[in-house]
Structure 1
Amino acid sequence: MPMGYVATTALFAWCTFFAVVAPRRPRPLATLSFWFGLGLNEVPFVGIYVLAASTALAGAQGDLDSAEAKVTVAVAAVATVGLAVSAWRGLRTDQVVVRALEQGLGTGWRVRVRVPLRRRRPWARILLLPAPVRRLTCGGSPTSATGTPGAGISSTCTAAATRRRTRRS
């Protein structure tokens, strides 16, 4: 019996349950279920990828022949359906936000907004690179909270700026 596959599927099924169902419960259990469901509710595609990869790995190793493994595959399939439901709910949120903005700001709010807004979702980035990517720029301010010049810039930004200056000369 593939214990790694069983553990992975059980963990993802548990978290998917709390991401999709959110049963009524007392406050301490509500907090616990919030934290269990948070990650998979935000990026359900990652959960689908992990479940598919672990099922494929167990199948490639020939570990899916036993009855217990077949039950685990069924649990993984149900968890995948739950993650698809979570993704579908997330897809509907943009319509709700647009309606709320139209109610609060009026129907012509897009014309008054000076920042360009996306009309379509970046599906390639959502599906292939769901984790946020940090920009390679220095975000520190030139002065710290105490007003000392240069103290607000991190040492990595300072080192990067020094390297850029030495390369130019």
Structure 2
Amino acid sequence: MSERRHTPFAWGKESDIAATAAQLLADGAIIGWFTGGSELGPRALGQRSILADPRSIETKQALNDRIKKREPFRPFAPAVLAEHATDWFELAGPSPYMLLAPAVRPGVAEKVPAVVHVDQTARVQTVHAADLLRHFHALTGIPMVLNTSFNDNEPIVESPADALATFQATELDALCIGDYLVTKA
């Protein structure tokens, strides 16, 4: 019989989970984000996501090594406030479903290396109403976060129990479920 690791959790309701999450991200945490209904389609669009700070290439390495356990060449995507998207990416219009991979504007890649592909493009998701992005922008001057699907090698999480199981099985730093912040005690 294999040994199971039991990690006790600490949790509490936050008055502004988006502000709390933005501060965690700005401080370098990698978090699970679980809110609302699951999306349909090929991408994680912010309801069931792992979020991280795009400003450091170490973020990408940590995600690949500690959480996703995947090849380092595979890209991560930026979720960016729609009103700032064209300042950062060569977009002709919105990209709400993360299906476009525009070029990153000159002088921008070094500010957000965790979401820039080797060919200097990014698979962008433009977002209109996102308190977490607004808080992160206010804290860092960067109007985006790294967004990837909330899973490790399993299918994307579908329930709070799935989110807790993935949180326990990975080295995520925190988990936001609705208005609740969960940490490993």
The TM-score, its normalising length taken from structure 2, stands at 0.20
Higher relative contact order (CA 8 A, sep 6+): 2
Query: Which of the two has greater strand per residue?
Result: 2
